[in-house]
């Protein structure tokens, strides 16, 4: 339930009260880094696993910000190898898709 204050985000008693339209508006704004996730967003275990999307920034963005560019490239390469190494024994195609996501991120970093 929205209160009558001036600030849009403090007008709500709980973050759960914020409607999807407000999340979308902030998500499209240029006042923050990252993607906001609303509980109605669809779960994608490969590109946006729920357990890495808590708060206003995705874990991968925080990891990138905490590392030197060369360290981050090594992190991405290591995750590609991890998922390629284990796909036959753990999650099959899902792990191959995760490896592809990390490889795509690595390609983007190297090409930049």
Q: pLDDT tens, position by position, for the chain (112 residues)?
A: 444 444 454 566 666 676 777 766 666 654 444 554 455 556 666 666 665 556 667 888 889 999 999 999 999 999 999 999 999 999 899 999 999 999 999 999 999 9
pLDDT at position 28: 62
Sequence-separated (6 or more) residues with CB below 8 Å from residue 33: 57, 61
- Residue 12 is predicted with a pLDDT of 64
In angstroms, the Cα distances linking 19 to 10, 25, 33, 85 are 13, 10, 20, 42
Return the percent helix, strand and coil in the chain, to nearest 5: 55, 5, 45
**How much is the pLDDT for 21?**
75
Residue 42 host element (H or E): none
Length of the chain: 112
Say what the pTM is. 0.55
């Amino acid at each position: 339930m929205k209160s009558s204050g001036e600030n849009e985000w403090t007008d709500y008693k709980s973050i759960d009260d914020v409607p999807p339209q407000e999340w979308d508006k902030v998500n499209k704004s240029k006042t923050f880094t990252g993607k906001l996730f609303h509980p109605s967003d669809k779960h994608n275990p490969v590109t946006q696993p729920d357990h890495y999307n808590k708060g206003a920034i995705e874990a991968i963005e925080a990891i990138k910000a905490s590392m030197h560019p060369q360290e981050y490239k090594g992190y991405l390469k290591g995750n590609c190898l991890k998922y390629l190494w284990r796909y036959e024994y753990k999650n099959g195609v899902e792990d191959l898709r995760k490896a592809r996501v990390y490889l795509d991120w690595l390609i983007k970093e190297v090409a930049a």
